[in-house]
Amino acid sequence: MSRIKEFNLPDLGEGLTEGEILAWLVKVGDTIELNQPIVEVETAKAAVEIPAKWGGVVTRIFHEAGTTVEVGAPIISIDTEPGAGPAPSEPAVADGLIGGPAPGGRTAVLVGYGPKTTTAKRRSRSSTPAPATVAASPAAPVVTTPQVEPTRVGPVLAKPPVRKLARDLGVDLATITGSGPSGSVTRDDVQKALAVEAPTEPAPSSPNGFTGAGTREQRIPIKGVRKATAANMVASAFTAPHVTEFLTVDVTRTVKTLEKLRAKREFAEQKISPLLLVAKAVLLAIKRYPMVNSTWSGETGEIVIKEYVNLGIAAATERGLIVPNIKDADRLALPELATALNDLVRTARSGKTPPSDMTGGTFSITNVGVYGVDTGTPILPPGESAILALGAIRPTPWVHNGKIKIREVTTLGLSFDHRIIDGELGSKFLRDVGAFLADPKTAMLTWG
């Protein structure tokens, strides 16, 4: 059996066909261990780190960062017996590619070195050298060689969000001198490099004083999570007939309950927000109305009622909107639910949500209130029959016990699939969620 093993890009989710290499965590010549993270890949569902299947020495990297690779294609080869003498030779690598010969007799072993293999267009640089010119002379031709711009001779240090920004703006990280720790490239470095690369000649002015739009536009490739989210939302919006209902609720007692929970030992290490009690309200209301937690199956002509709740929480990330879900959320006690919510949000913000957390959701919540928005009409995630929007909680004049007082008030928005949930069912479900938030202590004692 060959000691040089090729590691192919695995299927990182259900039916995914490709992934984009965001960053290599190793380089040719590195000694790696079994299960050591070697590459960060973005799919249509999330960005994930892929561990090594074998330990050994990296002998070849097939694709540089920024390349989109099909599932099953080789991405790296590893010598699994580096101590057994020289490794058998591998097929020749094309000039300029990683692991192949490079100008000056060097070997291109650094991530980001060599020509791009994608079809993305890079912004032209204003300092691009002019072609060589030849002057005729009776004695001998004189060749004027263009000045070559210096290129980085070491690995580019930059965090994944900075790398993504550079790719989106068409800036080559290898040409930037980083100002961050250990010479790492920062977001400001990328923006400054973009300003240098922009054309210096003013755009032609129109008679009314406006300049051309070409220098005032930014183009962001539609791919990865953003592309998949857009496709799913369009499919859902034009497949399931949406209905949205709204309910304004006095949640003063919910706010007071949260303050009491924060003082309890079980929640001492947790970040407690209104989302925790909204999630609990939804889970208890689903027990009362199981049809809300179901799927319309056009293929089989059935409505599939789920006897478990995988609770999705919409999260905005640098790569776009994702809706990871907490598996079997209905089986969790309140402290466990708080832990699961915090872990889900933390993982989503770090960009490390695994594909398994992005599939199988049965009901979702989107918290638009964190942006100061009163409520919204959310679109259903594919395969789900309802989604709840939580609006901002504001001090508001409210009639309480026959008197006008300042109370903490919010507005809920419930969108649902009208093929499954009729007006009566949707209204009762939303009413009960509101009743829980109006008096969570009593509801937990009597409903649970």
Query: Taking the chain, what is the end-to-end CA distance rounded to the nearest angstrom?
Result: 60
Share of the chain above pLDDT 70, in %: 75
Burial of 137 (0-12, 13-18, 19+ CB in 10 A): exposed
pTM of the model as a whole = 0.59
Looking at residue 20, what is its pLDDT?
86
Domain covering 225-447 in this structure, CATH number: 3.30.559.10
Does the structure show a pLDDT above 90 at 331? yes
Q: Do the domains 225-447 and 154-199 match in fold?
A: no
Q: Which of 169-183, 251-265, 371-385 is least confident?
A: 169-183
pLDDT value at position 238? Answer: 64
pLDDT band at residue 420 under the 50/70/90 scheme: very high
pLDDT of 148 above 70:
no
Predicted local confidence at residue 212, as pLDDT: 52
- Does residue 124 register a pLDDT over 50? no
Which range is least confidently modeled, 134-148, 149-163, 233-247, 375-389? 134-148
Q: Could you please state the CATH topology (level 3) that the domain comprising 154-199 is classified under.
A: Dihydrolipoamide Transferase (4.10.320)
Distance CA 232, CA 77 (A): 35
Asked whether the beta carbons of 242 and 418 are under 8 A apart, the reply is yes
- Contact of 381 with 236, CB cutoff 8 Å: yes
CA distance 95 to 276: 56
Report, at the CATH architecture level, how domain 4-107 is classified: Beta Barrel (2.40)
> Is 418 a catalytic site residue?
yes
**Catalytic residue (one of 63, 242, 400, 418):** 418
- The residue ranges of every structural domain in the chain are 4-107, 154-199, 225-447
- The model's confidence at residue 89, banded by pLDDT at 50, 70 and 90, is low
Q: Supply the pLDDT for residue 192.
A: 81
C-alpha atoms less than 13 angstroms from C-alpha of 406 in its C-beta half-sphere: 2
Return the pLDDT at 45.
Answer: 62
3-state helix, strand, coil in the chain (%, to 5): 30, 25, 45
